[in-house]
Amino acid sequence: MSWYNAFRVRMNTLAIVLIPVCIAIDWAGHAIASTLKLPLFLDSIGTVLGALLAGPWVGALAGFITNLISFGTVDPIAAPYSIVSLLIGLAAGIGGFYAWQRRRLGWLALYLVVFLVASVGSTPLNIGLYQGQSGVPFGDAIYAALAKGGLPTWLAAYADEASVDLPDKLITVLVALVVYQGLPNRFRNLFTLYRRPVDDEGEQAAPLTPA
Amino acid sequence: MAHGLSLYVERGSVLHRAHPLTKGVLTASAIALAFVLPSLGWVLGLLASLVALAAIAGVLRRLVPVALLVLLPIAVLLLLVQGYVNPANRTVFVGAGPVALYREGLAIAALAAARIACLVVATFLLSFTTRPADLAEALVQRGLSPRIGYVLQSALQIVPQTLEMAVRIQDAQRARGLETEGSLPRRARAYLPLLLPVVLSSLVATQERAMALEVRGFGRRVRRIARRTFPDSAAQGAIRWALALSVPVAIGLRVAGWR
C-alpha cells in the first residue's frame, strides 16, 4: 500500500460537510490566539484535524479555502500562502492515512512533516514577495542579523520563516492531536474509510516521510 | 472578534453591477501584473488605476484606511530591513557606519511595497464591490463543482457563527474563573479550554448536516438549475479576455527584454 493510495478515496457527503467546519476551526483557533495575545498564528488547527480525520483532500481544501476567505476579508497578503496551507493539508492527510495519530513516533513525524512543508513552502514566497522577510518582526530580526553576517538571502530567509513555524506548527499539531484524541470513538469511526486498511495495530512500519 | 465576513459596501456603481467573474478576473490579473511589471513607475501606474477604479466604485473612503492598516507595518518593516541588509547595498542614504540605510536596498523595498500595495488594493476592490456568495455562485454557474460551491458558501456562513460562539464560550469560561490575562504561560494555558468547546460542538453537528443534505439529493449527479443569474454582456466578456491575456503578454515582453 503506497502513500498515494491516500488520494484514491473519493470524498463522501460527510467529508464535504466536514470541510467548512475545519475552516471555521482554523479561524476560531487564530481568533482565540489573538484574543489571548499569543505570539503565534495557530491558523491551521482545523486543516490538520480535518486531514487526520478524512484524508488529504479534505485537509487540502480546508487549508486552501481558509486562506482564500482571509484573503478576501482581513488579510489580502494571505493569498499566495494558500498554496502552503493546501500542502500542509495534503501532508497531514497522508499522515492520517497511515494513522500516525495512533503512535507516539507518528506524532513526532506529523510535526516534522507539517513543519518542513510549511517552512520550505513559505520561503520561496517570502523571497518573491518580501525579498526574503517573513513579515513577523521577531523572525525578521533573525533575518537581518544573519544577512548582515553575510549568509546568502535564501538561507537567512529560511531561518526567518523556520523560527516562526517551529513553535507555531508544534502547538498547531499538538492541539489537533489532543482534539483528535478527545473525539468520541463513534465520531472518529465515521471516517475509517480514509485510513489504510491494515492489521489493526499497523505494525508494518509506515515511512517517516511521505515521499 | 465576531463580525460578518463580508466587506461588501452597498453602492450602485458600474463595478457593483458588473458580473462577479469580471471583477474576479480584474483582481487576479492586476495582482499578476503587479509582479510582472518591471519598474516602480509601471507598478505605481497600475496602483493609480486601481485606486481610480475604487473611486469610481465609490468605495475609496472606506478602502484607504483598511488598506493602510494592512500595508503600513509591512512597508516599514521592508524598508528598514532591506535598507539595512540588502546584498546590493552600496551607497549610504541616511545614517553612518554600522547603522545606515542604503539607497539600493530602499529602492528594492519600495518596489516590493508598491507591488504588495497593488495586491492589497486589487483584493479590497473586489471584496468591497462583490458579495462573496455571489462570486461563489457565479463560479458554480461557470463549471465549478457544486460540491466545492457548497463548501465555499457554507464556510462563509459557518465561520462568523463559530467566531460568535467562541466569544460566548470565552465569556462563559471567564465567569467560571478562567484566567485569560496576565503572563504568557497563563494566557497560553487558557487556549485549550477556550478552543476545545468550540471544536467539539461544531464537529458534533456535521453528521446531522450530512444526512440532511443527502436526503435532499446533495450527492446526486443531476443538472442543476440556478436560482438567480447575473447579468452579463459581450463587452464584459471581451474585457475579461483582454485582462486575462494581458498577463501572458506582459510575461512575454519581460522575457523579450522589457526593463
- Over residues B106-119, the pLDDT tens digits come to 999 999 999 999 99
Locus of grid cell 500542509: A88
- The total of other beta-carbon atoms located within 10 Å of residue B41's CB is 10
User: A182–B200: do the CB atoms touch at under 8 Å?
Assistant: yes
And the C-alpha cell for B29? 490579473
A35 contacts on B by Cβ (under 8 Å): 1, 170, 180
Global confidence as pTM: 0.86
Angle separating helix axes A104-130 and B103-129, nearest 10 degrees:
110
Torsion sign (Cα): A86, A90, A91, A95: positive
Mean pLDDT, residues A91-105 = 91
Dihedral angle, C-alpha B173, B176, B179, B180, nearest 10 °: 20
B108 contacts on A by Cβ (under 8 Å): 131
And the C-alpha cell for A130? 518580501
Give backbone dihedrals phi and psi of B94, rounded to 5 degrees, phi first: -130, 160
Nearest to B82 among A42, A61, A131 (CB): A131
| Spatial distance between the Cα atoms of B39 and A211, rounded to a whole number of angstroms | 40
* Closest to A177 (Cα-Cα) out of A86, A102, A114: A102
Residues belonging to chain B: 259
And the C-alpha cell for A159? 531561518
In the prediction, which pLDDT does B95 show?
78
And the C-alpha cell for A73? 476579508
* Closest to B156 (Cα-Cα) out of B171, B180, B139: B139
Q: Is A103 exposed, middle or buried (0-12, 13-18, 19+ CB in 10 A)?
A: middle
Confidence grade of residue A27 (pLDDT, cut at 50, 70, 90)? very high
Q: pLDDT digit string (tens) for B68-104?
A: 998 998 899 899 888 888 888 888 888 777 788 888 8
Say if residues B109 and B93 touch (Cβ distance below 8 Å): no
In total, the C-beta contacts within 8 angstroms joining chain A to chain B are 178
Low-confidence ranges of chain B (pLDDT < 50): 1-3
Torsion sign (Cα): A42, A46, A47, A52: positive
User: A28–B151: do the CB atoms touch at under 8 Å?
Assistant: no
DSSP calls for A159-202: HHHHHHHHHHHHHHHHHHHHHHHHS-HHHHGGGGGGS----TT-
Nearest CA in chain A to B82: A131
And the C-alpha cell for B145? 463543482
User: A17–B192: do the CB atoms touch at under 8 Å?
Assistant: no
In the prediction, which pLDDT does A211 show?
41
